[in-house]
Amino acid sequence: MMRSPRLPLYITLATFLLAYAICASQYPSMLSTRVIANLLTDNAFLGITAVGMTFVILSGGIDLSVGSVIAFSGVFLAVILRDTSIHPLVAFALLLGITIAFGAAIGSIIHYLEMPPFIVTLAGMFLMRGLAYVLSTDSVPITHEFYDTLQGIYWKAPSGGRFRLIGGIMILCYVVAMLVLHRTRFGQNVYALGGNAATARLMGVPIARTTIGIYAIAGGLAGLAGIVYSIYTSAGYSLSTVGVELDAIAAVVIGGTLLTGGSGFVAGTFLGILIMGLIQTYIVFDGTLSSWWTKIVIGGLLFAFIMLQKALGWATTTRRRPALEFATRS
Amino acid sequence: MIGSTLRRVTPQLLILGVVLLMNLAVFPGFFTIEFQNGRLFGNLIDVLNRGAPVALLSIGMTLVIATKGIDLSVGAVMAIAGAVAASVVTGGAGWFTALLAALAAGLLCGLWNGILVAIFRVQPIVATLVLMVAGRGIAQLITEGKIMTFLNEGLIHLGAGTVAGVPTPILIWLAMGTLVTLIVRHTALGMLIESIGVNETASRLAGINSRVLLVTVYLVSGFCAALAGVIVAADIKGADANNAGLWMELDAILAVVIGGNSLLGGRFSIVASLLGALIIQSVNSVILLSGMPPEFNLVIKALIIIVILVIQSPTVKHALYLLRASAGSAVPDAKEMGRNAPSAKETRP
């Protein structure tokens, strides 16, 4: 474990500030509130997904199904609004119910069948993507006046940036997640589970309830991200958001959360999302770079932060005295 | 040797038989094989031929999973290898140079993964995730963002040609599967790989050079992925950096899981994984031949994985063991008990 769990967070913050400074020095207009507002709007669905992913990774697990859940949510909403006359809010509630139940089912399988989260969520990924295909293989447009209302809600900053509703939902998610993780018993249980599952069990952490809760939260947030994505694109398409789970994992890692679980902050994930958004914005501003550079740079950042975690872990464990090491390693 | 292998793969053979019979039910001419224009034609040949990429990937993936690892990057490595082969061949070189270059690229990717896992001790999922994310970008860089087409007869032959009437991909995966099986089973290599998967610390203390072995299995996986990538590129006469090998890593993992290999590492069987790959391809074939919408493909695959997971899970195995023990009939063999070790999740020292 690391001596200061906040160190990776500071490094992420420094990376973000440095990247932003470099961008701003080349393109001064990057400092405008329009860019900042778009950064929040364009990454809202990814940001919300990454909150759920942070919970899962903090507990030492991984969730590969979120991208498919978002696609399923979009198609589900589009189809249900096209074929029935129920109000979008009812559809939202229905969808969140389905995705939370789906997450809880995944969590139960992981806990009770003692299977690795990786393969269980992989099955979930196939299932949700398949269900999205079954609902519709076409891109289904959403034309409901309520959607127009939702898209019309924004706060206009004095210098022209429009902070839209979905960006606000994302920020709200982060605030609530911080409170849950740091101010509730459930949050402490998540950290305990990720630190060492055996110790957590001996300490009396309800493993079953916590595991199921974590995956239910991840599923529910992926559903919420699906709602946000459908507001963002006004459509549902079963082939959309392929690979979002990897972007979300990358954001969590770049945010300084330890992939083995037990150490990390939601705030770091937020910075990770902003860094990834910044790379895309820079490529748009540059105009000559191709979009595949995004993947290479994100891959590079991912590698750098994994190495950083390894280096920090190594540097702090070797200096420790043997007696302490014996006591802290199970 | 052969008897024990047969016993090991009985469930896979049964499943494959059932799926093939389902094929026969929806399409009566399924088993007819004809010899036309100097090559074999028939649905069965198609299953063997179309299953080649997943079969190749599953060979390397079996070894990686046996060490308690996973290789998520194989799809991206396929894209890279296809792109390298295409760019070398359009640069004027021969097909053999292109193949060598693609294989070298695959080995390089495998080396990268192996070093991350074995030397830097990064969890395999995460280590290979880096290449999975960045790999397609690299492939795009090589093809300069477009689908790079080529007309080199030699290279196309690898994916679409025939040798003595048999499509080349079938021969390639059969040869690769036989070669790797012979190497790991006629030497102690296979057992050493299994020992790493069961308990790496203990194997290291017992004198096994786990680092070299770990790097080797990722090298094999990269090599197989590169071969698969070349076949896929040769088949469509072009390298598509975006779509070549997309989702293939999941199919390969699925093939290994259907092959009854535990994701928690340990005992493995390459033959069973290859049968798993054929089962996947036969399921695809049933869905296509029956005229069912292909949309159901993923749902059916998901349900298959879930059923297999339930059967494979330590809890259910333990319950079955208790059931059999209390019934007092056939004593469960020690082999199965060994795999019942209750390990909730990966714990690295």
User: Do B153 and B46 share a structural domain?
Assistant: yes
Report the chain A residue with the minimal C-alpha distance to residue B304.
A123
Residue B28 exposed, middle or buried by CB count within 10 Å (0-12, 13-18, 19+):
exposed
**Cβ proximity of B128 and B73 under 8 Å:** yes
Per DSSP, the three-state class of B328 is coil
Given this model, what pLDDT does residue B315 score? 79
Per DSSP, the three-state class of B232 is helix
User: Do B338 and B298 share a structural domain?
Assistant: no
Nearest Cβ partner for B130 among A123, A124, A299 = A299
Range of the domain at B331: 313-349
Average pLDDT, stretch B278-291?
A: 86
Grade residue B193 by pLDDT with cuts at 50, 70 and 90: very high
Q: Which residues from B are below 8 Å from A303, CB to CB?
A: 130, 134
Residue A182 pLDDT > 50: yes
Is B136 at the interface with chain A, CB within 8 A?
yes
Residue type, B85: A
Element (H, E) at B163: strand B162-163
C-alpha span between B217 and B68 (Å, rounded): 11
* B227-237 pLDDT, tens digit each: 999 999 999 88
Q: Which residues from B are below 8 Å from A197, CB to CB?
A: 344-345
Average pLDDT, stretch B148-155?
A: 87
Is B104 at the interface with chain A, CB within 8 A?
no
User: Do B341 and B215 share a structural domain?
Assistant: no
User: Do B317 and B277 share a structural domain?
Assistant: no
- Least Cα separation, residue B132 to chain A (angstroms): 8
Q: Do A134 and B295 touch (CB under 8 A)?
A: yes
Q: Which residues from B are below 8 Å from A116, CB to CB?
A: 263-264, 345-346
Given this model, what pLDDT does residue B329 score? 54
**Cβ proximity of B83 and B148 under 8 Å:** yes
Query: What dihedral angle (degrees, nearest 10) is formed by the CA atoms of A305, A308, A312, A313?
Result: 70
User: Do B180 and B81 share a structural domain?
Assistant: yes
At which residue do the structure tokens 């992925």 appear?
B225
User: Do the bridges between strand B34-36 and strand A235-236 make them parallel or antiparallel, or are there none, so unpaired?
Assistant: unpaired
Residue type, A39: L
Q: Is A289 left (phi over 0), alpha (psi -120 to 50) or beta?
A: beta
Look at B84 and A161; give whichever has higher pLDDT: B84
* A266-278 pLDDT, tens digit each: 999 999 999 989 9
Average pLDDT, stretch A164-188?
A: 93
Is A259 at the interface with chain B, CB within 8 A?
yes
Report the chain B residue with the minimal C-alpha distance to residue A294.
B137
Q: Would you say the C-alpha torsion B284, B270, B336, A200 has a positive or negative sign? A: negative
Average pLDDT, stretch B34-63?
A: 89
Given this model, what pLDDT does residue B343 score? 44
Q: ipTM surpassing 0.95, yes or no?
A: no
Grade residue B192 by pLDDT with cuts at 50, 70 and 90: very high
User: Do B209 and B336 share a structural domain?
Assistant: no
Percent of chain A predicted with pLDDT > 70 = 94
At which residue do the structure tokens 């390089």 appear?
B108
Q: Which residues from B are below 8 Å from A119, CB to CB?
A: 253, 257, 263, 305, 309
* Mean model confidence pLDDT for chain B: 85
At which residue do the structure tokens 């999922």 appear?
B125
Grade residue A283 by pLDDT with cuts at 50, 70 and 90: confident
Given this model, what pLDDT does residue B344 score? 42
Q: Nearest CA to B103 among B179, B211, B186, B176?
A: B176
* A217-229 pLDDT, tens digit each: 999 999 999 999 9
Tallying the residues shown for chain A, one arrives at: 330
Given this model, what pLDDT does residue B337 score? 45
Nearest Cβ partner for B315 among A112, A298, A302 = A112
* B322-338 pLDDT, tens digit each: 888 887 655 444 444 44
Per the structure, how many domains does chain B have?
2
C-alpha span between A151 and A165 (Å, rounded): 7
In chain A, where the domains are located: 7-318
C-alpha span between B280 and B298 (Å, rounded): 11
SS3 of B172-222: the string is: HHHHHHHHHHHHHHHCCHHHHHHHHHHCHHHHHHCCCCHHHHHHHHHHHHH
Q: What CATH number corresponds to the domain at position B24?
A: 1.10.3470
- Least Cα separation, residue A320 to chain B (angstroms): 16
* B74-124 pLDDT, tens digit each: 999 999 999 999 999 988 888 999 999 999 999 999 999 999 999 988 888
Give the contacts of B116 (CB within 8 A, at least 6 positions apart): A306, B122, B127, B128, B130
Given this model, what pLDDT does residue A319 score? 53
User: Do B213 and B142 share a structural domain?
Assistant: yes
Q: Which CATH number fits domain A7-318: 1.10.10, 1.10.3470, 2.60.40, 3.40.50?
A: 1.10.3470
C-alpha span between A44 and A253 (Å, rounded): 18
Residue A192 pLDDT > 60: yes
Look at A317 and A160; give whichever has higher pLDDT: A160
Residue B342 pLDDT > 70: no
- Least Cα separation, residue B35 to chain A (angstroms): 37
User: Do B88 and B234 share a structural domain?
Assistant: yes
Given this model, what pLDDT does residue A317 score? 65
User: Do B326 and B303 share a structural domain?
Assistant: no
